[in-house]
Amino acid sequence: SIWTFGDTQTLRAGLDGISWRTSTWTYTADLDASDGVDNFMEPTDASGVPGEFLPFTEEELAFNALNRGPDCTDCEARIILWPAQMLVDATGEHIYIFYEKLIGRPGFLNLEGIGWSFALWDGPDSTPVRPEFRPDADEPTLLFDDSEMPYFGTAALQVGEDVYAYSCGTLGCRLARVPFDNLLDPNAWEVYAGNDEWSADASDAAIVMQGSTIMSVHWNDYLGKYVAFYSEFFSDGVVMQTADRLEGPWSGPIYLFDTLPPAD
The rounded distance, in Å, linking the Cα atoms of 10 and 37 is 22
Of all residues in the chain, the percent with pLDDT exceeding 70 is 100
Query: pLDDT tens, 84-102?
Result: 999 999 888 899 999 999 9
Confidence (pLDDT) at 56: 96
Query: pLDDT tens, 196-229?
Result: 999 999 999 999 999 998 899 999 999 999 999 9
The rounded distance, in Å, linking the Cα atoms of 258 and 235 is 8
3-state secondary structure of 262: coil
Confidence (pLDDT) at 185: 96
Rounded to the nearest angstrom, the gap between the alpha carbon of residue 208 and the centroid of all alpha carbons in its chain is: 19
Q: Are 129 and 122 in contact (CB under 8 A)?
A: no
Cα angle for residues 67, 234, 236 (degrees, 5° grid):
120
Confidence (pLDDT) at 159: 96
Mean pLDDT of all residues in 153-164 = 95
Mean pLDDT of all residues in 222-240 = 93
Other Cβ atoms closer than 10 A to 236: 12
Other Cβ atoms closer than 10 A to 262: 6
Q: Are 198 and 206 in contact (CB under 8 A)?
A: no
Which long-range CB contacts under 8 A does 45-48 form with residues at least 24 apart?
A: 45/14, 45/15, 45/16, 46/15, 47/12, 47/14, 47/15
Q: Is the pLDDT of residue 233 over 90?
A: no
The rounded distance, in Å, linking the Cα atoms of 261 and 264 is 9
> What secondary structure does DSSP assign to 150-212, as a single string?
----SEEEEETTEEEEEEEETTEEEEEEEEGGGTT-GGG-EEEEETTEEES-GGGPPP-B---
